[in-house]
Amino acid sequence: MADFRTEYEKVYEAIRNAIIAGQYVPGERLPQRKLAEKFNTTTITVREALRFLEQDGLILIEPKWGAMVVEITAEKIYGRYIVREALEGMAARRS
């Protein structure tokens, strides 16, 4: 079956799954060059994937320091769902 995902989506999913599986632990740095080598892609592709992981709240990107895995807690997950529920409700009312 054909895989129609973009390169950064594949890298995003691989890193996301590794974080969730505990292969990358909270506080661990995610160097772009090493990830690019690991996934046989460019640092630009990795950077794009990391941006989406940051939006998901799985990593924190600090200028001049790079990306770092954050601690995932039940409170953080709950907070994200509360915000998402509110936003989806507003979007549904506007439709």
How long, in residues, is the chain?
95
Kindly give the parts of the chain with pLDDT less than 70: 1, 77, 95
pLDDT at 7: 93
Closest by CA to 12, choosing from 43, 45, 60, is 45
What H or E segment, with its residue span, contains residue 2?
none
pLDDT at 74: 72
Question: pTM of the entire structure?
Answer: 0.76
What H or E segment, with its residue span, contains residue 49?
helix 43-55
pLDDT at 82: 80
Domains of the chain: 7-94 (1.10.10.10)
Residue-wise pLDDT tens digits, 59-80:
999 998 999 999 877 777 677 7
